[in-house]
Chain A
Amino acid sequence: MREHRRSGRFRRGIVYALASLLLLLLSQRPILPRPELVMSLKTVPTSQNRETVQTDSSVFKAAGRSFIIRPDQQGAQEFDENTSSLLWEREFGSIITTAAASENLSAWGLLDGRVFILDHDGVILRIIDPHQEGIASAHPCIYALAMSEQGESVAILYGILPQYVLVYERKSGFYSLSYSEELQGDLRSAQSAAFSADGQDILVKTADGLFYFDRSKGKGALLHPDRFAGEAELLIESLGDTGFALLKATTDERYAGIIRSGALEAYFPVPPDSFGLSASEDSFKIKGAEEDLVFTRRDYE
Chain B
Amino acid sequence: MSKHCPPGPAAVRLVLLLLLGQVSSLLGAQNVNPQKKGATAAEKAIDILVPSAGIIVDFGIPKRFGSTGGSYLGSGAQVQSRTLDVPASGEGVLLFSQQKKLLETGFPHSGDNLIALAHGNGFVSVYSSPTLSFSEEMKKNVIARDERIGTIGAANGTSDAYFYLRIVDTRSRLLVNPALFTSTMVDRAAPRIEEVSLIRDGFQLKAEPARRVLQRLIQGDYRLAVRLGDPSYAGGVVSGLFRIKIVLDGQVVADRKFDSAQNADEGLGFLSLPAPSFKLADRDGRFLLGSQFLARGNHSLELTVYDFNSNAGSFTWRFIVE
Query: B-contacting residues of A (Cβ < 8 Å)?
Result: 50, 53-54, 56-60, 62, 68-75, 77, 79, 84-86, 89-100, 111-112, 124, 127, 138-141, 143, 160-161, 188-190, 192, 233-235, 247, 249, 251, 275-277, 287
Sample of 24 A–B contacts (CB below 8 Å): A58-B108, A58-B110, A68-B65, A68-B66, A69-B108, A70-B66, A70-B70, A72-B74, A73-B114, A75-B278, A93-B262, A93-B267, A94-B263, A95-B116, A96-B107, A99-B106, A111-B168, A112-B263, A124-B265, A140-B170, A160-B93, A160-B118, A192-B105, A234-B103
Shortest CB-to-CB span from B164 to chain A, Å, is 8
A77 in contact with B70 (CB, 8 Å): yes
Best-buried of B96, B126, B263, B266 by chain A (most CB within 10 Å):
B96
Question: B102, B110, B168, B265: which contacts A127 (Cβ < 8 A)?
Answer: B265
CA distance A96 to B109 in the complex (A): 9
B175 in contact with A71 (CB, 8 Å): no
Binary contact readout B169-209 vs A (1 if CB under 8 angstroms, 0 otherwise)? 01001010000000000000000000000000000000000
B103 in contact with A247 (CB, 8 Å): yes
List residues of chain A with CB within 8 A of the CB of B268. 74, 91, 93
Q: Given that A68-B68, A90-B276 are known contacts, is A233 also in contact with B93, CB under 8 Å in the complex?
A: no
Question: B66, B126, B265: which contacts A77 (Cβ < 8 A)?
Answer: B66
Q: Given that A57-B111, A93-B275 are known contacts, is A75 also in contact with B104, CB under 8 Å in the complex?
A: no
List residues of chain A with CB within 8 A of the CB of B261. 93
CA distance A160 to B93 in the complex (A): 10
B57 at the interface (CB under 8 A from A): no
B107 in contact with A190 (CB, 8 Å): yes
Please classify how large the interface on chain B is, using the bins under 10, 10 to 19, 20 to 34, 35 or more.
35 or more
Closest-by-CB residue of B relative to A53 is B104
Q: DSSP majority for the A interface?
A: strand
Best-buried of B72, B93, B95, B264 by chain A (most CB within 10 Å):
B95
List residues of chain A with CB within 8 A of the CB of B100. 54
CA distance A234 to B267 in the complex (A): 32
Q: Given that A84-B67, A160-B93 are known contacts, is A70 also in contact with B110, CB under 8 Å in the complex?
A: yes
List residues of chain A with CB within 8 A of the CB of B124. 111
List residues of chain A with CB within 8 A of the CB of B110. 57-58, 69-73
Closest-by-CB residue of A relative to B101 is A233
List residues of chain A with CB within 8 A of the CB of B23. none
CA distance A235 to B105 in the complex (A): 7
List residues of chain A with CB within 8 A of the CB of B232. none
Closest-by-CB residue of A relative to B92 is A139
B68 in contact with A99 (CB, 8 Å): no
Shortest CB-to-CB span from A74 to chain B, Å, is 7
Shortest CB-to-CB span from B121 to chain A, Å, is 12
List residues of chain A with CB within 8 A of the CB of B101. 233, 249
Shortest CB-to-CB span from A196 to chain B, Å, is 16
Closest-by-CB residue of B relative to A56 is B108
Question: A50, A68, A97, A192: which contacts B106 (Cβ < 8 A)?
Answer: A192
CA distance A139 to B124 in the complex (A): 10
List residues of chain B with CB within 8 A of the CB of A84. 67-68
A189 in contact with B103 (CB, 8 Å): no
A189 in contact with B97 (CB, 8 Å): yes
A50 in contact with B72 (CB, 8 Å): no
A93 in contact with B264 (CB, 8 Å): yes
B267 in contact with A86 (CB, 8 Å): no
List residues of chain B with CB within 8 A of the CB of A99. 106-107
B144 at the interface (CB under 8 A from A): no
List residues of chain B with CB within 8 A of the CB of A100. 106-107
Shortest CB-to-CB span from A8 to chain B, Å, is 46
Shortest CB-to-CB span from A299 to chain B, Å, is 29
Shortest CB-to-CB span from B109 to chain A, Å, is 7
Shortest CB-to-CB span from A24 to chain B, Å, is 26
B112 at the interface (CB under 8 A from A): yes
List residues of chain A with CB within 8 A of the CB of B74. 72
